[in-house]
Structure 1
Amino acid sequence: MSLDAMNGNGGPLAVVTGGTKGIGLAFGHKLKKLGHRVVALYGHDEPAAREAQAELGEGCAVVRTDVSDPARVREVARRILDEHGVPRVLVNNAGRNIDRPFTEMPDEDWRTVLDTNLSGPFYMSRAFAPAMREAGGGSIVNIAATTGMRPRFNGVNYCASKAGLLHLTKCLALELAPHVRVNSLIPGMIDTDDMQMRVRSASPEHRASMLTSIPQDRIGTPEEMAAALEFLIGDGARYITGQKLIVDGGQFMW
């Protein structure tokens, strides 16, 4: 996939990591509907990338990179800035989840998850924020997780990375104010292929058990996450920075 085919004219630019499936792809569709040109970055799933490029169509580019590698982040950011200008929106959505009891967790699994989920947003924000600030402003949205606030078994690497991301959001919001706003968007149970695989939510029995903890008695959709993103990057949220917005049907209200 290449940036070369993306039209350099038109609306404001948005960059979305992990942007070729699930919630990330829903973000791309929403941003395009709002008039943005979209660069959707992905890590390794080529079939999903091809499908996303076909879905997003003209004015959008799907580009492979590794957000955990600072050199590759610098390179893709330089290309985007040189060829398509400064993004108004950066969504740090890419993430990895490798579960294991912490006493059995290899160093590689710890580093892979921390490098993707926490260092990745740091590298991406560092690459784009100076240009965004110089251009007059913009919005960075970090996709965090409820496990950054409440732990779970066998997820010490994931939980630690997402807890760190919440505090990274606040630090970036302080340093980039007043021109660039930085917020966290936190999904609850959202109906994606990844969630169906990890928690077997497609099974009626497992789904019924999950719904007992969700006051709205249903699982959310990627489109509802995209609607929340629309709010956070829009004019209605101009006075909101350093905050977290939880989209979970009330599951974490207590």
Structure 2
Amino acid sequence: MSRPALITGAGTGIGRAVALRLAAAGHPVALAGRRAAPLEEVASAIAGESLVLAGFDVTDAASVEAGVTQVLERFGGLAVLVNCAGEAPSAPFNKTSREVWDQALGVNLTGTFLVTQVALASIRSAGNGRIINIASTAGLTGYPYVSAYCAAKHGVVGLTRALALELAATDVTVNAVCPGFTDTPLVDGAIQTIMDKTGRSADDARKALARSNPQGRLVTPDEVADTVAWLAGEGASAITGQAIAVAGGEVLAG
């Protein structure tokens, strides 16, 4: 049976890997993001059914409503939602502007809220619905110079847990996947920040981030996508309200 999936932030990094993984598992996939070109590239790599939703702004309620409506018209429903759109601005706390704060919370947290709220009715009616929020180890612990991002991702984990309990008597599960430093364009920003502040080379900065992982490496997008695919499947029907770290042991949940 067809189980359509909507992935936000699907053009690059983890979102791209998730879209390709779910498509390979047989899901029709809606690829949502702001820029058309990367979404079209992902769609071209998918053999199955896909829908490109360019200009999809998770912070804008009207944009979200229009995009989800397109998904329902194209696929006839929605069974899996992966909230992957995110930004990770970096600045010392006392130099974090209100604009940066609002943008980080808007994309990472409010965006997750808006998309989930619009999509929820269809997910509930699909049977065995799945909501999977891509959070971060920043939602489980703290890191310096990314206070807005940490606050937003902690919010995503809290939202995940609250909604999971609200829906526990239904067949909809809600979980968060919390990657550590992952080899994506988003982590390239962290590498550039290290270079700017310390004068280190890009290679040395990358190694510094990798050392935060006890396995001594960056997580790969495919490893995160595999976790998402498991949560989206029938075998994870008893898993809900969880924040699953994919971080090589960096964060050990109690």
- TM-score where L is the length of structure 1: 0.89
- What letter is aligned with 2:61? P
Residues 211-253 of structure 1, C-alpha deviations (whole Å, 9 max, x = no match): 4332222222111111111111112211110001111111112
Structure 1 pair 210–95 and aligned structure 2 pair: CA distance change class (3 A): closer
Partner residue of 2:137 out of 142, 146, 149: 146
- What letter is aligned with 2:212? S
Residues 52-89 of structure 1, C-alpha deviations (whole Å, 9 max, x = no match): 23223551122121001112111211222233222111
Structure 1 pair 212–66 and aligned structure 2 pair: CA distance change class (3 A): closer
Secondary structure, counterpart of 2:235 in structure 1: helix
Alignment of 1:70-149 (within 5 A): 70-149=61-140
Secondary structure, counterpart of 2:15 in structure 1: helix
Q: Hey, what's the Cα distance between the residues in 2 that align with 1:214 and 1:237? A: 26
Could you tell me whether the CA contact under 8 Å between 1:52 and 1:62 is conserved in 2?
A: no
Q: Hey, what's the Cα distance between the residues in 1 that align with 2:99 and 2:202? A: 32
Secondary structure, counterpart of 1:141 in structure 2: strand
Q: Hey, what's the Cα distance between the residues in 1 that align with 2:185 and 2:75? A: 32
- What letter is aligned with 1:55? A
Greater Cα shift, 219-228 or 207-216: 207-216
How far the C-alpha of 1:15 sits from its partner, in A, is 0.3
For structure 1, list consecutive stretches of 5 or more residues without a partner in the other structure.
1-9
Residue in 2 that maps onto 1:6: none
Partner residue of 1:61 out of 51, 57, 71: 51
Residue in 2 that maps onto 1:196: 188
| 2:250 paired with 1:251 | yes
Could you tell me whether the CA contact under 8 Å between 1:86 and 1:128 is conserved in 2?
A: no
| 2:40 paired with 1:50 | yes
How far the C-alpha of 1:189 sits from its partner, in A, is 2.0
Q: Hey, what's the Cα distance between the residues in 1 that align with 2:142 and 2:189? A: 20
- What letter is aligned with 2:234? D
Residue in 2 that maps onto 1:230: 229
Secondary structure, counterpart of 2:40 in structure 1: helix
Q: Number of paired residues?
A: 244
Q: Hey, what's the Cα distance between the residues in 2 that align with 1:214 and 1:137? A: 34
Residues 169-197 of structure 1, C-alpha deviations (whole Å, 9 max, x = no match): 01111122222100000111211132134
Structure 1 pair 237–98 and aligned structure 2 pair: CA distance change class (3 A): same
Q: Hey, what's the Cα distance between the residues in 2 that align with 1:102 and 1:213? A: 21
For structure 2, list consecutive stretches of 5 or more residues without a partner in the other structure.
195-200
Q: Hey, what's the Cα distance between the residues in 2 that align with 1:117 and 1:92? A: 9
Secondary structure, counterpart of 2:72 in structure 1: helix
Q: Hey, what's the Cα distance between the residues in 2 that align with 1:197 and 1:113? A: 14
How far the C-alpha of 1:132 sits from its partner, in A, is 1.7
Secondary structure, counterpart of 2:45 in structure 1: helix
Greater Cα shift, 212-221 or 93-102: 212-221
Alignment of 1:22-61 (within 5 A): 22-43=13-34, 45-56=35-46, 58-61=48-51
Secondary structure, counterpart of 2:79 in structure 1: strand
The percentage of counterpart residues that share the same residue type is: 35
- What letter is aligned with 1:54? S
Residue in 1 that maps onto 2:173: 181
Partner residue of 2:161 out of 170, 175, 178: 170
